[in-house]
Chain A
Amino acid sequence: MAPGVFTKGLCGLHHRLVAAGYSCSGPLCASAAAVKTLPLQTDSTDVTDKILNLPLEMPDFFRLSELFSLKDLFDARVHLGHKKGCRHRLMEPYLFGSRLDQDIIDLDQTVEHLQSALNFTAHIAYRGGVILFVSRRRQFGHLVEITAQDCGEYAHTRYWQGGLLTNAPIQYGPGVRLPDLIVFLSTLNNVFQQHVGVRDAAKMNIPTVGLVDSNCNPSLVTYPVPGNDDTPAAMELYCRLFKMTINRAKDKRRQMELLRGLSAVGLTPGS
C-alpha cells in the first residue's frame, strides 16, 4: 500500500519539477522568468535526473524504519485517543478498540502510515521542497517552531489568515512559492473544527501529512497518521522524527551531489 500511495503523491510533484526545472508550484508561478530554467548540458541533466530518480527505485531509500518502532510509539502514548463521544466516524477504521470509553488507536496501522508519511516527507526534502509545519495547539506551538527552525523549513502556529494559500500572490507579492508539503501536527484549530489549511491545501493541490486523532476528519489529508496529538511525549516524538527525517534527506542530497561532482549553488534547488 505504501509504495503505491507514495508514487501517486510524488508523481505530480515530479512532473512539475521536471517541467520547471525547479520545485515551483505550477499555477502560481506568476513570473516564471524569476525562476529560470538554466541551460543544462546533456550530461549534467542526466546526472541530475539520476540524483532525482535513484531514491524512487527503492522502497525505503532513507532507511526511516530504523527511526522508530512500535514500542517507541507505545511508550510515547501515541495509542491514546479521546473518549467515545468525541469519536469521528471516519476514524473508526483506524481504531483498535475502546477501553473504559477511551478510544485506542491501532498502532500497527499507525506504524505503516507513519512510515509512508515520513518517507514522503523525506523525498520532498530530498528534492528541496518547501515544507510547512502547521499546528494550532498553543501548548506545542513553540516546539513546532523550534523543530521547523532546526530543519531549515517553515512553520505556522499562529492565526491562519484566510487567503494565505488561495490568495498568496496578493498577500505576499507576485512570484511567491507556495509550500510543497504541509505537515499538520494537529488538524484541529482552537475551537475543535478542522483547520482551514487542510481544505485550502486540498484546493491548491498541495499534499498534506496530517496527525489525526480520534476526533479528527482524515478524509482530506493525503497521508493521515492516526495518533495522539494531545500528549507532550507524543508531540516531542513526532517533532523529533520529522526533524531527523528531513535532516537525513537533506544530508543525503548533499552527499549525492558531492558524489556526482555537481556544485550545490545554482543548478539545484537549494538543499
Chain B
Amino acid sequence: MAASGGRTVGSFLWKCGNCCFNFNTVSSNLTCQVLSRQLCVSAVLHRKNLAAAGPEKFSEEFIKKQVEEFNIGKRHLANMMGEDPETFTQGDIDRSIAYLFPSGLFDKKAKPLMKHPDEVFPKQRAVQWGADGRPFHFLFYTGKQSYYTLMHDTFTKALAVEKHQDRLRGKGLFTQDTKQISLVGSRWLLKEELEELLVETISEHDYARFIQLMERLLSLPYCSVEEDFVQRYRRQLEIQSSKQQVQPLQYDQHGVAYSTGDGRRKTATGTVLLRDSSSGSISINGTNYVHYFPVLQDREQLMFPLHFMGVLGRFDMQCSVSGGGHSSQAGALRLAISRAMLSFLSEGQVETMRQAGLLTPDPRIKERKKPGQEGARRKFTWKKR
C-alpha cells in the first residue's frame, strides 16, 4: 500500500476499517481527484449479522490440521518435561500445563488448557450430500433425519413384532407368558442425552413422541425379541444403598460391648462412645450432662433415642462435642447417639428409628444475608417518601 505525501480518503478509510474496495484512491492527491470518486460508505454495511450466522463452523481440513498440531505439540511437551512421548497421556498433559503455566484464576475455563481438538471444537455434521447434490440420507428433506430415522426404525420393529405375533397366533402357539424385558433399575434416555446421540436438536414434543413409541413397543407381549434395541435407549440408575451402614459391635478388655457414633448439626460436631453397662451415666466433655445442658429441652434431645427404643438405663455414654450453640450441640449428640445405637439393634428396630427421623441429619444451616436487605429475610425499613 503506497502511502504517498498527502493523506487521501482511500488510505484514511483503509486504516479505519478493513475495507479493500478502492485501491485507486490510495495514490497521489492529483490522481485521487481525477480518477476516483470519494466513496463514503457507512460502517452499517460492513457490519456482519453475527446472530444469523449461527454457531461458528469449522471445516474438515481445519479440524484435521488442529489434530496434527495437537499431536506434534504433545510430543514437544513430553520432551520438554523429560517424559517418553509415546506414553504421554492426557493426565500428564494437564499436569505439565498446570506446572508450566501456573494460573491464579478461579474459573476452570479461564485457565490455559491443551486438549484434543475433538473435545474443544463442537461436533458438527459433515456435508449431507454428494458431488452431484443428491443427499445421502433418504429422510434428508425432513430436516431432522436422525430423529425420524429412529422413529421409522422403532416403528418397523414394532410392526415386525406384531407380524411375528400374528404368525404365532395363526399356528396356535401364542401365549401371554413370555420372557419380558426387565426395566427395573434403568431409565429412559433424557432429552439432552438423546440429542447428543442423534447430533441433532429435538423438541420436547418430539421427545415425548419417541418415548410414547418405545412404550408402545414394550407393551407388545413378544417385545423381548428387540431387547438390544430397547436397552440402547435406556440407562442404568445408580444403585443407592438405602441401608444404613451398621458398624459391628466391639468389645473391650472386660467383655463389655461398646460402639461409637458421630453426628453434626449446624456447626456443632459431636462424638459418642456407647457402652453396654447397666449404669446409665452420661458425661459430656468430662462434665455431667445435667451441668453441661442446664436447659431441659437439650437433655430431652439427648435422651430421646434411648427413650424411643426403651433402653433408657442400659447404656453408659461418654460424649465430646464442640462448635455451635447449646441447641445444635444437643442435636449433634442426638444423631451421634442414634448412629451408635444401630450396632445394638435389630433390622426392624433400625427401620423404626429411620422412620422416626432419628437417623436423618438435619440439613438446615444459617441462611446467608443478601445485599440490599438487612438480614437473610429482613428488609430495610420501607419509607413511603
Instruction: Name A residues whose Cβ lies closer than 8 Å to a Cβ of B.
Output: 22-24, 34-35, 128, 130, 132, 142, 145, 148-149, 152-156, 158, 161, 164, 171-173, 175-177, 179, 269-270
CA distance A270 to B133 in the complex (A): 10
CA distance A59 to B115 in the complex (A): 64
B148 at interface by CB-CB < 8 Å: yes
Contacts of B139 on A, CB cut-off 8 Å? 145, 154-156
Given A142-B152, A172-B128, residue A153 in contact with residue B138 (CB < 8 A): yes
Given A132-B141, A164-B141, residue A154 in contact with residue B135 (CB < 8 A): yes
Known pairs A142-B156, A148-B138, A154-B140; list 9 more (Cβ under 8 Å). Answer: A35-B132, A35-B133, A130-B133, A142-B152, A145-B139, A171-B143, A175-B133, A269-B134, A270-B132
- What 1/0 mask marks residues of chain B from 140 to 174 whose CB sits below 8 Å from any chain A CB? 11111000100010011001000000000000000
Q: Do A142 and B159 touch (CB < 8 A)? A: yes
Contacts of B156 on A, CB cut-off 8 Å? 142
Given A142-B156, A145-B152, A158-B148, residue A179 in contact with residue B141 (CB < 8 A): yes
B129 at interface by CB-CB < 8 Å: yes
Instruction: Name B residues whose Cβ lies closer than 8 Å to a Cβ of A.
Output: 127-135, 138-144, 148, 152, 155-156, 159
* B126 CB to nearest chain A CB (Å): 11
Q: Do B143 and A142 touch (CB < 8 A)? A: no
* B51 CB to nearest chain A CB (Å): 13
Contacts of B152 on A, CB cut-off 8 Å? 142, 145
Which 3 residue pairs are nearest across A and B when measured between Cβ atoms? A177-B133, A269-B132, A158-B142
Q: Do B133 and A173 touch (CB < 8 A)? A: no
Select from chain B the residue with minimum beta-carbon distance to A158: B142
CA distance A172 to B54 in the complex (A): 12
Contacts of B127 on A, CB cut-off 8 Å? 173
* B300 CB to nearest chain A CB (Å): 65
Contacts of B138 on A, CB cut-off 8 Å? 145, 148-149, 152-155
A-B contact pairs, 21 of them (CB 8 A): A23-B133, A34-B131, A34-B133, A35-B131, A128-B132, A142-B152, A142-B156, A145-B152, A153-B138, A154-B141, A158-B148, A161-B143, A164-B141, A172-B140, A173-B128, A176-B133, A177-B129, A177-B134, A269-B133, A270-B130, A270-B132
Select from chain A the residue with minimum beta-carbon distance to B144: A158
Select from chain B the residue with minimum beta-carbon distance to A22: B132
* A155 CB to nearest chain B CB (Å): 6
Contacts of B132 on A, CB cut-off 8 Å? 22-23, 35, 128, 269-270
Contacts of B133 on A, CB cut-off 8 Å? 22-24, 34-35, 130, 175-177, 269
Select from chain A the residue with minimum beta-carbon distance to B54: A170
